[in-house]
Structure 1
């Protein structure tokens, strides 16, 4: 886990998976186990960024209880413009190496699906 800001300029030329979430959000909690599985398999190939504005002890307790080890940040800098339009959570974005947003999804989803894994494999190979 990380308590600092993440600067998207530092993630150039990487496939990025971004998720805005909170511990009090039921859909966020529902998709977290699937995202954790995806993270375990792709953390060396894809930049995962999980953003919440919650107090750190709450986040840390939630992660410890559920045995999550996702990289969490409390702020972002230099994000793509569409991030500023995020009004509800969970909000998830998949960004290719050129900075194009390929998926912009609000609400819970199965991020560990074969379709998502195939897409990540294609993007990483490019």
Structure 2
């Protein structure tokens, strides 16, 4: 069998092998994982009213990347989008562009929190590299009970009354019409 016939018959196996090799190499693994995560992301779902919890305690100190201390309690009575993420997490990285678009349009109406446990310089470099202006905070203290998750990313959308309207784990498309309509509805209440 000559090389041309071999390649013609085995092209899919060769392509699959190259793909596996690219997944093994750290420099190419993350971009591939992010790309795949973006392909599979869907708009998050609203929690049914009978299953919603209400945040009972907003007391949660956070630290901004500039070392400014804030308290989550400043968002009591407001619509909130809270995302737990990390720079090393492919699903987290995959949903950041959709968050940036949402933030660009809703930053003046909704309180956004992008909370991580990573070092501030690493987070700053990541945000700068991707031109993100998302408000990132460092978590030094445990979040309120209803806002705890062991999965990254996890995102919560809270109503003005503290109702957890969305509790989404895993990658999602946050710049969807469905989420924009939900935020508009929550802002009008």
Matched, 1:36 2:118: no
CA distance in 1, matches of 2:108, 2:151: 29
Look up the match of 2:175.
112
- Whether the 8 Å CA contact 1:16–1:95 is kept in 2: the answer is yes
Residues 107-126 of structure 1 deviation map (CA, whole Å, 9 limit, x = unaligned): 00010000000000011111
Relative distance call for 1:18 and 1:5 in structure 2 (3 A) is: farther
Residues 73-112 of structure 1 deviation map (CA, whole Å, 9 limit, x = unaligned): 102768442223x001000000000001011011000100
SS at match of 1:60: helix
Structure number with greater Rg is 2
The structure with higher relative contact order (CA 8 Å, sep 6+) is 1
CA distance in 1, matches of 2:85, 2:142: 19
CA distance in 2, matches of 1:110, 1:32: 9
- Whether the 8 Å CA contact 1:8–1:76 is kept in 2: the answer is no
Look up the match of 2:11.
none
Uncovered stretches (5+) of structure 1, i.e. residues with no partner: none
Q: Map 1:70-85 onto structure 2 (within 5 A).
A: 70-75=134-139, 79-84=143-148
Uncovered stretches (5+) of structure 2, i.e. residues with no partner: 1-62
> 1:70 Cα shift?
0.6
Matched, 1:21 2:79: no
SS at match of 1:63: helix
Look up the match of 1:67.
131
Relative distance call for 1:90 and 1:26 in structure 2 (3 A) is: same
Relative distance call for 1:57 and 1:77 in structure 2 (3 A) is: closer
CA distance in 2, matches of 1:125, 1:58: 37
Look up the match of 1:11.
75
Look up the match of 1:95.
158
